[in-house]
Chains A and B, each alone.
Chain A
Amino acid sequence: MKSLGSIRRSFAPWSDPASKPFISFRNVTKKFGDFVAVDNLSLDIFPREFFALLGASGCGKSTLLRMLAGFEQPTSGEIILDGQSLAGTPPYRRPVNMMFQSYALFPHMTVENNIAFGLKQDGMPKTEIAERVDQMLKLVKLDKFAKRKPHQLSGGQRQRVALARSLAKRPKVLLLDEPLGALDKKLREETQFELMDLQQELGLTFVVVTHDQEEAMTMADRIAVMAHGKVIQVATPPEIYEAPNSRFVADFIGDVNIFDGTVSAAGGGYVELTTDGGLSIRVASPETPSVGAKAGFAVRPEKIRVGNARPACAPLNAAEGVIWDIGYLGDMTVFHVKLKDGRVVKASSLNAVRAVEDPLGYDQEVWIWFDENAGVVLRD
């Protein structure tokens, strides 16, 4: 597999004011009766972007995709594709294909015919169809199953047929609703990278819905975190992870420790907080909240260090506690440290050397500490 690193690193049209978005949601609202499924949402997706929609079940991800595919009409607002409003364009005229969450494979057709279906609608010559179908079957490793009917396949195989069928037409935009949910871990990881390769190779724009944050982080150029029909944050995976803009995003993505407190000083690139539990925290942050304001401090477990000795920075960004729980995961160990005020903090450390005998054990008194740039200030 070739490395995508160099292409990826330089791909950032969203930070280039000259580049035009390919798909724009403009103040899109979708109501089902009184229920607001998508709430005044605006979002830009750029050409050739691999865009992920991440959010809890029922937050409106599928609805957003279905509006883009043309199966639901926005109650208000506008969706623009390639400079043109999609209002009034029926699904079969949109250069968009969708892989359905329920797969929606045609039960009366063989795998082959399912994949060829869209191509036949376009009146593609027979030999070309056969070629394309072959290529798709190889891609999803189902060449042996070409003549089977969907009910004769396993869940994961069906999912791959659905993927192949939606890809066969090489749409400008491919919408994937939970594309890899039914695959086992190994196949899922393989397919993730294959999807990324394919997207690069064909120059397509992918919008993928997922529950799985790791999947989103792996594949996407940018991630939109959604909740209750709204986009909470749109950013690249590292930004989402390292600089969540809100308590919700910090909590939703990965593990996090959030300390609530009051701002005691701010400015000069630093914010100082006193947590409700009495810790003093100094964070490198460009924000300037007013002194006395309520704020949170979020720090990821892997950025918290645990040790026997009192750290040099103490009492700043450090606290004493006892080890409450140890989770050994092989590649790393997760410690739950109970602080003096009763709060339990999660800290994880990489097992870089083979742990023959871990010096940290249950109920041991330890220090935890972290750097000034280890976490972020949350102002909401």
Chain B
Amino acid sequence: MTKFGSAVFNRLVIIIPYAWLMFFFLIPFFIVFRISLSQTAVAMPPYLPVFDLADGLSGIFSGIREFSIDNYLWLTQDALYINAYGASLWIAGVSTLCTLLIAYPIAYGMAQAPSNLRATLLMLVILPFWTSFLIRVYAWIAILKPEGLLNQFLLGIGVIDQPLIILNTNWAIYIGIVYSYLPFMVLPIYSALEKMDHSLNEAAQDLGCTPISAFWQVTFRLSLPGVIAGCMLVFIPAVGEFVIPDLLGGSETLMIGKTLWNEFNANRDWPVSAAVATILLLILVVPIMFFQQAQAKADGEGR
């Protein structure tokens, strides 16, 4: 490649991720944000104002003047939304913690396994992806329902004499989320553990750490980036999860994904659902930005 060509190529390579973000995140986000500032209307599309290029600049300005934050105020007035946000964060948080507790030992075991076995284990972890997500969630209904496999088994071995009511409770949501998102937690932790130099742990023990304390001070500490990545990969989609609570959860828990769906489809209230989505995004993005800033600061220390 010529020098000029390679310079252009380098530019292009840098542009690709930004272009991606632009087209598939920023532009859609601004559309959603703009709708969230509108009023609902019986029209197509079901909100006002609608910009018409035929009106020219003055039309756009008069449209913008009609924008209002009423939808956001509305979200604070009805406890339904705040409860839904709270329930979503809580359920996602608990599920993420449970996923971590299950995934870490799995990832650790995989990283300790003989290297010829590791590829197979990795394969097994991603194997569930080969079946449709929906089918797997439906399968959990068959397992968890009162006359389902789990209850039959527990009744059969005599641990319980009444079927457990799990389906359509929060328990079923936890189980569903943990099950569905487990690979997203296992993989980043595994990759952090796998590239770790085992002699670091030995060095810690050599300097007087018991194996357990060496694990915490060295192995776990160094796997933290993987743990954090895994937690984000589970927590963020879990907050907005719609399918799992819809299929497995009960009517008493309203998660934000379901609320959004209701506003959008049942009420046809696009502006309010857009506001719900915007707030959800802020709730997720702002803490992450703070976290990354703190991380960058910690990395820069001593430099």
Residues in A lying within 8 Å of B, measured CB to CB: 69-71, 90-92, 96-98, 100, 102, 104-108, 110, 117-118, 121-122, 147-149, 152, 165-166, 169
Contacts and interface: CB of A to CB of B under 8 A. Distances in A.
30 contacts: A70-B205, A71-B205, A91-B206, A92-B205, A92-B207, A92-B208, A92-B211, A92-B214, A96-B206, A97-B207, A98-B203, A98-B206, A100-B199, A102-B199, A104-B197, A104-B199, A104-B202, A104-B203, A106-B203, A107-B200, A107-B222, A108-B221, A110-B302, A117-B207, A118-B207, A148-B303, A149-B302, A152-B302, A166-B206, A169-B208
A interface, over-half SS: loop
Nearest to B196: A107
Contacts of B64: none
B221 A169 contact: no
B197 A102 contact: yes
Interface in B194-246: 197, 199-200, 202-211, 213-214, 218, 221-222
B205 A108 contact: no
B214 to A, nearest CB: 8
A90 B205 contact: yes
Nearest to A110: B302
A269 B143 CA distance: 92
Contacts of A148: 302-303
Contacts of A117: 204, 207
Contacts of B206: 69-71, 91-92, 96-98, 166
B208 A118 contact: yes
Interface string B172-212: 00000000000000000000000001011011111111110
Interface of B: 197, 199-200, 202-211, 213-214, 218, 221-222, 302-303
A148 B221 CA distance: 18
A107 B200 CA distance: 9
Contacts of B218: 106
**Closest 4 pairs (CB-CB, A-B):** A118-B207, A121-B208, A104-B203, A104-B199
Given A98-B203, A106-B200, A117-B204, 19 more contacts: A71-B206, A91-B205, A92-B205, A92-B211, A98-B206, A102-B197, A104-B200, A106-B204, A106-B218, A118-B207, A118-B208, A121-B207, A121-B209, A148-B302, A149-B302, A152-B302, A165-B203, A165-B207, A169-B207
A122 B209 CA distance: 9
A122 B207 CA distance: 9
Contacts of A107: 200, 222
Most buried by B among A69, A105, A121, A148: A121
A165 B206 CA distance: 11
B208 A122 contact: yes
Contacts of B303: 148, 152
B66 to A, nearest CB: 54
A102 B206 CA distance: 14
A92 B209 contact: yes
Contacts of B203: 98, 100, 104-106, 165
Nearest to B299: A149
B115 to A, nearest CB: 14
A169 B203 CA distance: 13
A108 B218 CA distance: 9
A147 B209 CA distance: 23
Nearest to A118: B207
B154 to A, nearest CB: 42
Nearest to A116: B207
Contacts of A165: 203, 207
A91 B202 contact: yes
A333 B275 CA distance: 88
Contacts of B209: 92, 121
Contacts of B202: 69, 71, 91, 100, 104
B36 to A, nearest CB: 42
Nearest to A165: B207
Contacts of A166: 206
A376 to B, nearest CB: 41
Nearest to A102: B199
Contacts of B197: 102, 104
B45 to A, nearest CB: 52
B299 to A, nearest CB: 9
Contacts of A108: 221-222
A148 B300 CA distance: 10
Contacts of B211: 90, 92
Contacts of A96: 206
A97 B214 CA distance: 15
B297 to A, nearest CB: 14
A324 B138 CA distance: 87
A312 B165 CA distance: 109
Contact of A147 (B199, B207, B213, B302): B302
Nearest to A169: B207
Contacts of A70: 205-206
Given A147-B302, A149-B302, A92 B210 contact: yes
A166 B209 CA distance: 14
Contacts of B210: 90, 92
A71 B206 CA distance: 9
Contacts of A105: 203
B228 to A, nearest CB: 14
Most buried by B among A90, A106, A169: A106
Most buried by B among A69, A105, A117, A169: A117
A92 B215 CA distance: 13
A100 to B, nearest CB: 5
B207 to A, nearest CB: 3
A98 to B, nearest CB: 5
A376 B113 CA distance: 52
Nearest to A122: B208
Contacts of B199: 100, 102, 104
Nearest to B214: A92
